[in-house]
Amino acid sequence: MRTYTLAVSDPPSSEPAAQPVRVLSLVPLATEARRAIEAVDDRVVLTLAPGWFDGEIRATWGDYVADSYLPAGAAGHGTRDERDALLAEADVILAGFPVPVDLRARAPRLRWVHQTPAGASNLHRCDLWGSDITVSTSRGLGNTLAIAEYVVATFLSFARELHRAPAERSAGAFDRFAYRPVQLAAKTVCVVGAGGIGQEVGRLCAALGMHVVGTRSSAGASVPDGFDHVGGPEELPALLARSTFVAVCCQWTPQTHGLIGTEALAAMPDGTVLVNVARGEIIDEAALVGALDRLRGVALDVYVGEFDHAPPQALWSHPNVLITPHVSGGADVRPGRPVELFVRNLEALVEGRPLDNVIDWDRGY
């Protein structure tokens, strides 16, 4: 463990000593990020503990999550008492995914947690969910361009029928007449959830000459660049009916659980390409299995139960389904915006101002 503390000059004897703001980072931080956090205020005391809780995470989240998200063989650091002491002193925690499930219970001084991922649903298993602690996310500030490129890449793959090539290689023979390529230009794409990720998807699709429509939880705001129209949730069936490409980018909430179900799938024209880069629970997978033969292709970067088990065989084995292990945000370039938001929010915290991107427990994000 490495602790970084700014020097604090002695206060005048007539004034009480300033209380430190103890920030515990469970994620690695580059030198510039550490300096930015420490520079917020003389009272900030930054402690770095990435990887310290890996053993606990494996024990509570299970091997499937640990093998997917933690370095091979990671067992954590320190004793349980030492890790408890870290949490007991923390006023603020900067976390990634996964996190210890009992942060609230072990951190009596805790005032605020910021998680670098965008999705609030990551915390459903954690005792922070619905608690009295302020929790913020990096909603709209993650690697949105990389995710949008994943969407476009899968659109192009299915449009050009590139998914047929591996099967033909295995068979040792081409079937030229099986290819039915389509052009993306002039086709309509429906972006379900025109937020940070969805807006990047719309922008890239518009640059390819596509007509872009979409939905968001509340209509009436300005239409994002590249979109022809953005409506409320009630417009989704009509927008799907005119779209042959669909990108699911919305938050997982009680309102969006199973949103892409029997009705929505029936509204999609035959030959539609469906891509999900949000959360698996937004798609009714049983209904999706029943619709596979009339869809051109389905790309799923997420699926129901991805923290517990492999994808369902009915999806994973279908030749027109591509499933990846939640990697759409990966790239050789990582955005600094989540840490920049953390720094801005830390400034707001010490100054007594409201924080941005705070989770509304009732809304679910």
- Residue entry with tokens 């509340």: 218
Residues 6+ apart with CB under 8 A from 305: 280
- Residue entry with tokens 């476009």: 152
In the chain, % helix, strand, coil (3-state, to 5) comes to 35, 15, 50
Active site members: 279, 326
Residue 231's Cα: distance from chain center in Å? 23
CA distance 181 to 159: 5
Give, in order, the Cα–Cα distances in Å from 257 to each of 201, 253, 260, 281, 299.
Answer: 22, 6, 8, 6, 18
Helix, coil or strand: residue 262: helix
Contact present, 345 and 112 (Cβ < 8 Å): yes
Residue 20 CB: number of other CB atoms within 10 A?
16
Contact present, 46 and 5 (Cβ < 8 Å): yes
CA distance 280 to 335: 24
Contact present, 205 and 226 (Cβ < 8 Å): yes
Which residues, listed in sequence order, are joined to residue 321 by a DSSP beta bridge?
Answer: 298
CA distance 187 to 212: 9
